[in-house]
């Protein structure tokens, strides 16, 4: 479509919007609610007409084409479809053959075969004689996909087809799209709320914002922390999916920000992700949390950063220096409780245990997660530290289930 203007009565949706769906691609269309995604889809299918501008199917204006011609080339899978009559799933799929039949024509052998093939591809072959009304959301969605395939289209427009599916069907559905795209050269426009699935399965992504294409390009150029924050007004963390390399979005949500709970601070001595769970649970209960000493690039450090926590930091892969140790002590000084998480202890981070011992001697309360030191890289020094902690009066707990309880006991004595 080229330079499209569209307004509903009383509400302008698109001003001068241009978007090309390229042959053979999977284009993911993302954007917040009411950014115009579904309207864009309806324009592309000719269900709505732009007030200005033109929508093209290859070289021809979509408006000039008779509807059966359009239906042979473009199929739509809606979010849902209500049917007031008890049609069977098989009948619904066969309706996809409608554009190929004459006015009085009944379906022929070939049409039945094509419909069956579609049903087999979407894994609903067994549902042929079941009433559509009685199917589950996921089954309905796949039947509608089978109907779209029965149209033998060149282009398929998907309007959040996986929003009602559970995770295995979401993945299967997207795998099917990818396969059809490769094998049948199907061009796909996929509206999605799920940024991760869109990033994973799209060749290109268009980010729609207030009726404009805010960004368009490969998933990694479009799905960035900056773009998502601007358009969705939400803070997220974008990493790489370790299995596929696609960008992966994690909402940071509201855990960041001012605590509203007990206003007490808990310092976690942790590393390699051992502090993540505790930090999150404590934040949700309204505690302030600080971390230390962590190496830059450590899992705990990255998450601590997005959560906006106070941290004592050390250079990557370096032993804890005097400076970092000092910073950690300042944080411990401010904290009402110190928790020693279960992390691997080596020569480099041994000072972290020493810091906990110091804290005890200064009268701080310290909770320690029992650690059997299965891998001891310190030649026994870690074991000595743990013994010292016990002697100095630290509270040992077997696992995290008692952490909140202990924290509550020490911080709110009444």
SS (H, E, C) 225-269: HHHHHHHHCCCEEEEECCCCCCEEEEECHHHCCCCCCCCCEEEEE
The pattern of x and - marking residues 13 through 52 that bind another protein according to CB under 8 A reads -----------------------------x--xxx-----
Q: Give CA separation, 183 vs 149, 173, 177, 204, in Å.
A: 13, 15, 10, 19
Q: Residue 40 — φ and ψ, nearest 5°?
A: -60, -40
Q: How far is the CB of 127 from another protein (least distance, A)?
A: 16
CB 99 within 8 A of CB 152: no
The pattern of x and - marking residues 120 through 159 that bind another protein according to CB under 8 A reads -------------------------------x--------
Using CB under 8 A as the binding rule, the residues of this chain from 251 to 290 that contact another protein are none
Residue 175 burial (C-beta neighbours within 10 Å; 0-12, 13-18, 19+): exposed
Residue 394 burial (C-beta neighbours within 10 Å; 0-12, 13-18, 19+): buried
Nearer to another protein, 98 or 125 (CB): 98
Selected from 68, 126, 308, 326, the binder of another protein by CB under 8 A is: 68
Q: How far is the CB of 84 from another protein (least distance, A)?
A: 5
Nearer to another protein, 151 or 349 (CB): 151
Told to check if 242 binds another protein by CB under 8 A, we report no
Q: Residue 28 — φ and ψ, nearest 5°?
A: -90, 130
Q: How far is the CB of 308 from another protein (least distance, A)?
A: 46
Nearer to another protein, 91 or 314 (CB): 91
Nearer to another protein, 88 or 162 (CB): 88
Told to check if 99 binds another protein by CB under 8 A, we report yes
For every residue of 340-392, DSSP letters joined together read E------TTTHHHHHHHHHHHHTT--EEEE----SS--STTHHHHHHHHHHHT
Selected from 35, 88, 192, 378, the binder of another protein by CB under 8 A is: 88
Q: How far is the CB of 96 from another protein (least distance, A)?
A: 7
**Token pair 């900056």 is at which residue?**
226
Selected from 4, 62, 89, 92, the binder of another protein by CB under 8 A is: 92
Kindly give the pairing relationship between strand 52-54 and strand 288-295. Answer: unpaired
Residues forming the site for another protein (CB under 8 A): 42, 45-47, 66-72, 74-76, 78, 81-88, 91-92, 95-96, 98-99, 101, 103-106, 151
């Amino acid at each position: 479509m080229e330079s499209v203007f569209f307004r509903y009565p009383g509400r302008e949706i698109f001003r001068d919007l241009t978007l090309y769906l390229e042959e053979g691609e999977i284009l993911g269309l993302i954007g917040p609610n009411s950014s115009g995604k579904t309207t864009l889809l309806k324009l592309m299918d000719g269900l709505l007409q732009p007030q200005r501008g033109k929508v093209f199917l290859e070289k021809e204006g979509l408006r000039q084409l008779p509807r059966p011609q359009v239906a042979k080339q473009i199929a739509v899978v809606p979010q849902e479809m209500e049917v007031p009559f008890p049609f069977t799933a098989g009948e619904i799929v066969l309706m996809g053959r409608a554009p190929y039949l004459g006015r009085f024509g009944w379906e022929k052998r070939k049409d039945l075969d094509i419909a069956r093939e579609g049903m087999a591809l979407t894994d609903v072959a067994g549902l042929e004689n079941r009433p559509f009304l009685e199917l589950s959301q996921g089954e309905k969605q796949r039947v509608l996909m089978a109907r779209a395939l029965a149209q033998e289209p060149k282009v398929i427009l998907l309007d959040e087809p996986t929003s009602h599916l559970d995770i295995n069907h979401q993945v299967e559905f997207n795998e099917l799209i990818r396969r059809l795209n490769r094998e049948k050269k199907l061009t796909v426009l996929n509206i999605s709320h799920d940024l991760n699935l869109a990033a994973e399965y799209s060749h290109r992504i268009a980010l729609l914002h207030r009726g404009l294409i805010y960004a368009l390009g490969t998933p990694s150029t479009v799905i960035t922390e900056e773009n998502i924050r601007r358009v969705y007004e939400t803070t997220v963390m974008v990493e790489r999916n370790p299995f596929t390399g696609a960008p992966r979005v994690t909402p940071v949500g509201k855990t960041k920000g001012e605590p509203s709970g007990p206003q007490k601070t808990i310092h976690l001595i942790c590393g390699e992700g051992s502090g993540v769970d505790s930090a999150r649970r404590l934040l949700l209960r309204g505690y302030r949390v600080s971390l230390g000493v962590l190496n830059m690039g450590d899992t705990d450090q990255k998450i601590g950063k997005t959560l906006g926590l106070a941290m004592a930091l050390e250079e990557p892969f370096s032993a804890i220096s005097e400076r970092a140790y000092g910073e950690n002590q300042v944080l411990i000084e401010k904290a009402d409780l110190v928790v020693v998480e279960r992390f691997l202890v080596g020569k480099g981070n041994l000072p972290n245990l020493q810091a906990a011992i110091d804290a005890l001697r200064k009268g701080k309360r310290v909770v320690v997660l029992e650690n059997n030191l299965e891998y001891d890289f310190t030649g026994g020094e870690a074991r000595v530290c743990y013994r010292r902690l016990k002697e100095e009066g630290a509270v040992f707990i077997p696992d995290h289930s008692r952490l909140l309880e202990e924290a509550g006991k020490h911080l709110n004595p009444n």
